[in-house]
Structure 1
Amino acid sequence: MRKTNIITQCRTRAASRRSKIIGNHYPEFNISGYTSVDGTVEFYSRINSLLNNSMVVLDFGAGRGSWKEDYSCPYRKSLHDLQGKVKKIVGCDIDEAIYDNPTVDEKVVIKIGEKLPFDDNSFDLIISDFTFEHIENENEIAQEFTRILKAGGWICARTPNKYNYVYILIQLIRNSWHEQILKYVQPLRNEIDVFPTMYRMNSARKIDILFPDDKYENYTYYFNSEPAYFFNNSFLFFIMKIIDSFLPFYLKNNLFIFLKKEI
């Protein structure tokens, strides 16, 4: 019990320091808890613009829905929360933690190497939020997405750009070390939410190959959100922010993938 209290106190202090650092570099953060380059606000604003109440949506790699408890900004949470905005949200994951997810209407465990347990043309929209980097059977997943997505439907994915300098460094680090390193780099990250990375679906070129233009209209774009891996250090945050401002578009830290299946 005492250990739990100490961990909670440490996380609270880390969260307070993180907010202070971000607020110092992005004054608008102090208004309502998000920056002008907030990736979640950008990504889910785009998704919300596509929604209607007749849609059936798949949240691919939904996990335990940790964002529900992690987000401190009500506006970010309201954008991310799609329940009540569509007919049904189905969440799937390889981890049985999906059964604890309060943000989806139907929960399904999937298995690596097997077909997704959904009928052809089942979904109007597929969301994959920071899961593409964990996929090792990328060709099969792309084929399955095409099978279960309705004509005219959308694939909406947010994932790291494998050619950004931060993720190049991460790719040089063994997966077995990620959990320990992230304790220092991202002190607010829960160990339960750390998974092995593959980076096999994390470049614009690979997306072009997996989802060819004879089947999809491709509206993928690069996006630079505020630094995430900065050890809760203000000076490092500043340096990374400066570096990011000089990067060409193809080296920005995130890929926002929006694909519309041909009718």
Structure 2
Amino acid sequence: MNDQTLFEGATKPRPFEAGIYKEFDAGQFSRKDCTVAFYTRVDALLNPTVTLLNLGAGRGANIVADYSSYRRKIQTFSGRVAKVIGLDVDPAVEENPDLDEAYVIDPSGKYPLLDESIDIIVSDHVLEHVDDPQGFAAEIDRVLKPGGWFCARTPTKWGYIGIATRSIPNSLHVRLLSRLQPQRKAEDVFPTRYRLNSISDLRDAFPPERWRHCSYGYNGVPSYHANRSLFFRMIDVYNWLMPNTLSAKFHVFLQKRPDAQNS
């Protein structure tokens, strides 16, 4: 198993980081795995009575294409909660295998959901694409029950991913990512805005008097390294040197305060 790994009956290329982290083959993830860290914390908030909204659910590439059976398991909500609803601007959401209900939405419009009908919202790599932070936050506030959680993972504005992405025009992102992340499909690349990707941005959109902030910076396995060991290790050292506010990503955990009733 030096360059290939068995993946549900088919042989696929072995992930690059498998050659970096000696523990990788014990579960097919590293000790620094960002996906495992984020979804483990989300999992701690789940119970069988929960109605969960996957906001930006997409086609379910994280479940269909992930090389690790453990990572696929912790990213799958169906069967672990009462209902999974998916919303996305991309019609591909209707193909997502993890959803009980799927809706294509207008990002500037209201979600097709009742007020205070959702217990937990999970939004993975969506905040960096938001055009209108206040409108986005208002819809989350409207549909989330008091005491409910908004859980999001996103690059930070001032981490290396955020700085690099904002320095390059959106029109060039697909071409560049084909080199830096060869495994990523073009249909999974969307224009970025970075208007909700700093601590101050989050506090402006989700005011502390209405939301309990439990977010933190996280540096996981380096991304955008073009599968080159030297580049990978340089990013890893850079991440180690950076303070929390300049981490590559935020793991956003916001609880709507129990007394925050909708008007």
Distance in 1 of aligned mates of 2:22 and 2:57 = 32
For residue 172 of structure 2, what is the aligned residue in structure 1? 177
Q: In structure 2, the residue corresponding to 1:31 is in which secondary structure?
A: coil
Picking from 23, 28, 46, the partner of 2:23 is: 28
Q: In structure 2, the residue corresponding to 1:99 is in which secondary structure?
A: helix
For residue 7 of structure 2, what is the aligned residue in structure 1? none
Distance in 2 of aligned mates of 1:196 and 1:82 = 27
Pairwise mapping of residues 86-235 of structure 1 onto structure 2 (< 5 A)?
Answer: 86-235=81-230
CA contact 1:120–1:147 (8 Å) conserved in 2: yes
Larger deviation, residues 108-117 vs 88-97: 108-117
TM-score by length of 2: 0.92
Distance in 1 of aligned mates of 2:147 and 2:161 = 35
CA contact 2:162–2:194 (8 Å) conserved in 1: no
* Deviation (angstroms), 1:189: 0.3
Picking from 236, 246, 253, the partner of 2:248 is: 253
Distance in 1 of aligned mates of 2:81 and 2:161 = 36
CA contact 1:222–1:255 (8 Å) conserved in 2: yes
The answer as to 2:78 corresponding to 1:83 is yes
Letter of the structure 2 residue corresponding to residue 133 of structure 1: E
TM-score by length of 1: 0.92
Q: Which runs of 5+ in 2 are unaligned?
A: 1-10, 259-263
Picking from 64, 67, 79, the partner of 2:62 is: 67
CA contact 2:222–2:235 (8 Å) conserved in 1: yes
Q: Which runs of 5+ in 1 are unaligned?
A: 1-11
Aligned-residue Cα RMSD (Å) equals 1.2
Letter of the structure 2 residue corresponding to residue 231 of structure 1: A
* Deviation (angstroms), 1:42: 0.6
CA contact 2:53–2:84 (8 Å) conserved in 1: yes
* Deviation (angstroms), 1:62: 0.4
For residue 3 of structure 2, what is the aligned residue in structure 1? none
**Overall identity of the aligned pairs, in %:** 37
More helix by share: 1
Letter of the structure 2 residue corresponding to residue 251 of structure 1: L
